């Protein structure tokens, strides 16, 4: 009995620690939010993307893959007003007012932003002015 009591308190301490971690994980905002991905492929001097319903105020990741033999640019004036995070070939740019990213042949860039206005999200390549594309932002109510 005495030896059992001696082992009692550490077990309770471990139990409280476990519950504490569980509650902290439940309250973490990242576990509650949904992430949405947009895939854009650049091939033959044009942007290819698949349209899907997009939610506002949600972590959005745009993956842009350049399959051409030349360098392209993915730029949008949407980034000018939105806090944007661009990762491109190991280089990270972060902030408001970013113009976009140059993507070398065979490389991929990832842009992270949170969209807060519905409408047309237009983008273009500043090197080849004829290259334009857009993603339609539909207003989808959060669940």
Return residues touching Cu ion (CB under 5 A).
Answer: 72, 125, 127-128, 131
- Least distance from C-beta 121 to Cu ion, angstroms? 18
Integer angstrom CA distances of residue 93 from 63, 74, 83 = 15, 14, 11
Hey, is 41 helix, strand or coil?
A: strand
Nearer Cβ to Cu ion, position 78 or 124? 124
- Least distance from C-beta 71 to Cu ion, angstroms? 7
- Least distance from C-beta 103 to Cu ion, angstroms? 9
- Least distance from C-beta 112 to Cu ion, angstroms? 22
Residue number closest to Cu ion, CB atom: 125
Task: Give 59-99 as a DSSP string.
Answer: EEEEEEEE-SSS-EEEE-GGGGGS-EEEEETTEEEEESS--
97: left (phi over 0), alpha (psi -120 to 50) or beta: left
Nearer Cβ to Cu ion, position 62 or 72? 72
What are the residues whose beta carbons fall under 8 Å from the beta carbon of 51, sequence distance 6 or more?
Answer: 135, 136
**How far is it, in rounded angstroms, from Cα 15 to Cα 18?**
5
Nearer Cβ to Cu ion, position 59 or 68? 68
Nearer Cβ to Cu ion, position 75 or 115? 75
């Amino acid at each position: 009995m005495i030896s059992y009591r001696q082992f009692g308190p550490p077990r309770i301490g471990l139990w409280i620690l476990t519950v504490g971690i569980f509650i902290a994980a439940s309250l973490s905002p990242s576990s509650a939010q949904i992430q949405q991905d947009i895939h854009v492929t650049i091939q033959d001097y044009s942007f290819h993307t698949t349209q899907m319903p997009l939610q506002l105020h949600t972590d959005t990741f745009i993956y842009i893959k350049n399959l051409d033999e030349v360098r392209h640019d993915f730029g949008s004036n949407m980034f000018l007003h939105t806090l944007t995070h661009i990762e491109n070939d190991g280089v990270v740019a972060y902030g408001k007012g970013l113009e976009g990213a140059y993507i070398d042949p065979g490389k991929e860039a990832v842009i992270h932003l949170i969209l807060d206005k519905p409408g047309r999200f237009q983008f273009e390549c500043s090197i080849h002015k004829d290259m334009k594309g857009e993603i339609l932002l539909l207003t989808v109510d959060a669940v």
